[in-house]
Amino acid sequence: MTVPAWSEAFTTLGPVVPLPLPGPVREWAWEGATGAGVKVAVVDSGVDGSHPLVGGVDGYAALSLDADSEDGLRVDEGPHEDLVGHGTACAAIIRSLAPDVRIYSVRVLGSNLKGQGSLFLAGIEWAVEAGMDVVNLSLSSKSPRWFGPLHEAADLAYFSNTLLVAAANNYPGPTYPSQYASVVSVAARQGDDPRSLAYNPDPPVEFAARGIDVEVAWLGGESIVATGNSFAAPHVAGLAALIRSKHPGLTPFQVKSVMHAAAENATDHRQGASGAPGDIPV
């Protein structure tokens, strides 16, 4: 089986040193949280709110090119459909982890699962302006042209208290915005635990979550089995929503630090008598 690019970095996990958070770390981070009070935008192909695994959509924004508008863009905030199924899959994963989040569908991709860089950029900007707490980006650009504009958008999100969770591309090479330090970058790994989380001490891709042979929601109320970094990212977005629900005062870099501490390969910052790091309960 061919796994997505960047996943190989998580095959053998080296230890990382987390912040000294109260333990058990995962219990402190998200135990008991449901995502209540958290707004999550899914920037993708649209979200089918009627799918039983999605359970509704709280808001919409469909972005398209419009030569007659001042900025060349049109934003339609009326309900829309998922043109592919990809966005519905991501939203359902988030909902499964954080059942009480408010999900917003930001459609920037067409029926071929492709889109313009300008729409991708505008979708992120819309999510930031709308005050999203977490934004799931299971898409990316490999074009150097969009490196700068997307970087500015990522910085805008970071300083606006919006956490961007971005999937790395499934193929080798740089992709944006997953390579930016302010973004939570995600690759897929094998496993059945939806709350599995690993940290890569040798970035650019920092986190890995379940994303190989995952049953995901799709069009027409159906489900399919799929593999990809696209489906790992919403697992991390869901965990981020739980953290922000339980600890609403945390900033994006603090949320990333909490997830770093909750990673399966995190070890205690304190050194034991032997000089080797001790295990931290996660």
Is the Cβ–Cβ distance between 175 and 81 less than 8 Å? Answer: no
CA pair distance 4, 168, nearest whole angstrom: 9
> Residues in the chain with pLDDT < 70?
1, 6, 8-9, 14-20, 268-282
Domains of the chain, with CATH numbers? 34-279 (3.40.50.200)
Stated length of the chain: 282
What is the DSSP code string of 151-217? Answer: HHHHHHHHHTT-EEEEEPPSSSS--BTTTSTTSEEEEEE--S-TT--EE-SS-SS-EEEE-SSEEEE
> Residue 279 catalytic?
no
User: What local confidence, expressed as pLDDT, does residue 275 receive?
Assistant: 32
Token pair of 12, please? 């053998």
User: What local confidence, expressed as pLDDT, does residue 238 receive?
Assistant: 98
Q: Which of 86, 133, 196, 245 is catalytic?
A: 86
Percent of the chain with pLDDT over 90: 80
> Residue 44 catalytic?
yes
User: What local confidence, expressed as pLDDT, does residue 11 receive?
Assistant: 72
Angstrom distances, CA of residue 96 to CA of 91, 93, 99, 142: 9, 5, 6, 30
Handedness of CA 79, 82, 83, 86 (dihedral sign): positive
Phi, psi values for residue 191, rounded to 5°: 145, 160
CA pair distance 276, 267, nearest whole angstrom: 10
Phi, psi values for residue 62, rounded to 5°: -105, 120
Q: Which residues pair with 224 in a beta bridge?
A: 216
CA pair distance 102, 127, nearest whole angstrom: 13
Q: Which residues contact 195 (CB under 8 A, 6 or more apart)?
A: 26, 97, 235, 239
Interstrand relation of 39-44 and 134-137 (parallel, antiparallel or unpaired): parallel
User: What local confidence, expressed as pLDDT, does residue 9 receive?
Assistant: 67
Q: Which of 230, 235, 245, 260 is catalytic?
A: 230
> Residue 86 catalytic?
yes
Closest to 26 in 3D by CA, of 192, 196, 202? 196
Q: Which of 7, 44, 80, 260 is catalytic?
A: 44
